[in-house]
Structure 1
């Protein structure tokens, strides 16, 4: 084929692609979002299958497993145990009395749904958990689009949903982990909060609190949001904001939200109720573990088994900083991270997300700083910061920029799956968890 013919073929191909894009742009929004999400999951599945071909000896199955075995490892095995065996009434301990790894570290809604689906259909537990994860991920990205659509145009919201779908750790949305279910419930709760449907958000928040440990930062976000919205009333009543001449003494009905719209009496009381319900929900799983085992620290003892030492707020970040950057720069690293994150929160694209979504991101990062032991699993725990995907889409409307972000995310999926999901024993034993 000569050069002229090759150029003509390339033009024809691109014209067909452009025509297909124009036709898909006329599809309903849910079909556009869902189709792009499923395409992203297909790409991730191809990466999983390619990595499985290179998988050697591991703790779970023979080398070179098939796709379904390959995605049912790591925490997927713990969720499977919670589904089939439930949670231990007595915490397992070693010979010296130290608590060992057990199912109490894994929240109950995901395995409970898996048990219900397996009971109704007769399918294997691993298959039921995988199906729930896939459906939850699809539903989550649809809800995320609706949330983003409140803040941006259709095209920008669609790109934000694509960024979430292709995020470097997005492959976890198609494996038997609770991340996809938690993402769905979190996105739904945030959508209801932004729309000010606080009463409807209460049951969603309770379910979210029992899917993964996101209840504490969510309760903090709602509590701070209430104070933020109620400040005009509180300020006038307690003398923090002097009333102008002729201004009546405000009751709760006169409370103004700090945003552009005003909050009514019912909305503020509902917001306060959501804060209370979320706070209760955040403590439900540790309380259930206490009630079943008789040990008030059952949950925290179990959680700290994986980090190898007791929980000391903030300290793990400095320890990790010293390990990575040395004794001087390591102590400064957490402060540099906080400063960089503060600048990000004040950037114009992120400010456009609105008060609720920015406050959620701040509270969640604050929660990670207080309680998280930074390690390779930290990448996966960044998924609840999904509102920043819309901020990334708002940086530029250039298709070249947005397409480059997607390509880089897909390349980083390769890194995440090959480096962290696939098992490769370290010299000292074990492997870095995904």
Structure 2
């Protein structure tokens, strides 16, 4: 291409970029998110062309059939038939796979929308997932703007939108709904609107199992804010005593308490009580779905029994990580692998880009990872379960302002989307039967 033509092309791109930069923030975020989902749709359609024999439909399915597989079938089952009043068991009395593993809010929304519009239930769930994914992107941008300028917050949102498992946000899974509610809850916590956060957290606890780590996060946050509140009050009292003892000359000196060192104003008494209330609501919300399963089935362990069916063994905290470590790295290195992983994550959480996220978002990431270590059985679905760590996308954008770096991250994520969809979403039977779940 001639040099003049190259310069003209660059000028045209720069002009278009400047024009887009003047659009409202929500148009920019919505447009970039829609573009990300369109790319993911193209990957889905390309993978569908190579889909062979599978348990659900003929080979080479259309897009809508291809995205309505795996757990989407379970959500469709809940939408149509609800939850079993008696846990299904085999001849030996062992609980079998059933709908209680799938939280109710997403299929309930599907039933309401399908009833109001007359749309096909499968399409209804897909539409809800896509709308919630867009809403999550908009809320995530607003959340990131509390910690970064517009351009960096926008890049962080793009990282979330193109993350290797982000295609799950446009399929009939509850991830997009949960991401929307989680981001909204974190935004309200950052803005100290704790009373408004309560109903959001209650709904979040009925979408996916993120209630336990969220309750841990707000509980620890309450302890930190309470310590800051009483430390600031004690410091103010000591300052008043010194001022009284030394006379009027020192009355203009202001005390700086721990909250001042963190750059945020200390909580007032009413805010502290509201945060305590949110802690209680979050703890109750975390127990709500297991309690509902107990009330309907009469079995206090209905939810946990159902969840562990997919594991093939009972829940033993932390043990699956060591078992997987031994499987991957051998009997010696495998036992050390979980400790190395935790040490690396702790080191990462202390890095400057992550510290820039602030107390609340860092605390959420730490609590959620702790929850995964405590309860998760690591497998191929673990990649999908990393989505709630989305605040780390902003720290990735804060590493460098270079457009080359940020563009390379997006390109890498898009290539990994191909890996995730072809490797895990598409059905390819294993030698022993079945396939790895996405």
TM-score by length of 1: 0.94
8 Å Cα contact 1:168/1:413 also seen in 2: yes
Distance change >3 Å, CA 11–CA 47, structure 1 → 2: farther
Residue number in structure 1 paired with 2:163: 167
SS of match in other structure, 1:211: coil
State the distance in 1 between where 2:229 and 2:113 align: 49
Instruction: Say which of 132, 136, 141 aligns to 2:132.
Output: 136
User: Gaps spanning 5+ residues in structure 2: where?
Assistant: 243-256
Q: Which residue of 2 aligns with 1:38?
A: 34
Taking a change above 3 Å as real, the CA distance of residues 99 and 27 of structure 1, as seen in their structure-2 partners, is: same
- What is the Cα deviation at residue 13 of structure 1? 3.6
Within a 5 Å distance, the mapping from 1:167-206 to structure 2 comes to: 167-206=163-202
What are the residue-to-residue correspondences of 1:29-428 with 2, within 5 Å? 29-233=25-229, 244=238, 257=259, 259=262, 260-428=264-432
Give the distance between the partners of 1:245 and 1:62, measured in 2 at CA: 77
SS in 2 for 1:27: coil
Look up the SS of the partner of 2:85 in the other structure.
coil
Report if aligned partners of 1:228, 1:257 keep a CA contact under 8 Å in 2. no
When residues 142 and 215 of structure 1 are mapped into structure 2, their CA distance, relative to the original with a 3 A threshold, is same
Tell me, yes or no, if the aligned pair for 1:229 and 1:256 is still in contact at 8 Å.
no
- 1:252 is aligned to none
Q: 1:128 to 1:247 in 2, by over 3 A?
A: farther
Q: Give deviations 1:162-216, integer Å, cap 9, x for gaps.
A: 0000000000000000000000000000000000000000000000000000000
Distance change >3 Å, CA 82–CA 243, structure 1 → 2: same
Q: How far is the alpha carbon of 1:244 from its aligned partner?
A: 4.0
Change (3 A) 1:264 1:247: farther
Mapped to 2, the partners of 1:428 and 1:8 lie a distance apart of: 61
Contact 1:147 1:187 in 2 (8 A): yes
Deviation at 1:115, TM superposition (A): 0.2
Shift of 1:231: 1.1
Q: In structure 1, what is the Cα distance between the partners aligned to 2:232 and 2:19?
A: 56
Supply the distance in 2 between the matched residues of 1:220 and 1:171 (Cα, whole angstroms): 29
String of CA shifts for 1:390-413, please: whole Å, max 9, x gaps. Answer: 000000000000000000000000
Which range moves more in the overlay, 267-276 or 17-26?
17-26
Q: Does 1:25 align with 2:21?
A: yes
Q: Is the 8 A contact 2:232 2:259 kept in 1?
A: no
1:251 corresponds in structure 2 to: none
The answer (yes or no) to whether the contact 2:83–2:99 under 8 Å persists in 1 is yes
- 3-state SS of paired residue (1:416): helix
Q: Measure, in 1, the Cα distance between the counterparts of 2:393 and 2:37.
A: 17
Deviation at 1:116, TM superposition (A): 0.1
The 1:142/1:429 distance shift into structure 2, 3 A limit, reads: same
| Equivalence for 2:249 | none
* Distance 1:232-1:195 versus aligned 2 partners, 3 A rule: closer
Return the offset for 1:16. 2.6
How many Å apart are 1:22 and its aligned residue?
1.4
Per-residue deviation, residues 15-52 of structure 1 (Å, max 9, x unmatched): 33222211110100000000000000000000000000
Distance 2:404 2:232 in 1: 51
Structure 1 runs not aligned, ≥5 long:
249-254
TM-score, with structure 2 as normaliser? 0.93
- Taking the aligned partners of 2:174 and 2:47, their CA distance within structure 1 comes to 22
CA-CA distance at 1:14 after TM superposition:
3.6
What is the root-mean-square deviation of aligned Cα atoms in Å? 1.9
| CA deviation vs aligned residue, 1:261-293 (integer Å, no higher than 9, x gap) | 110111000000000000000000000000000
3-state DSSP of counterpart to 2:96: coil
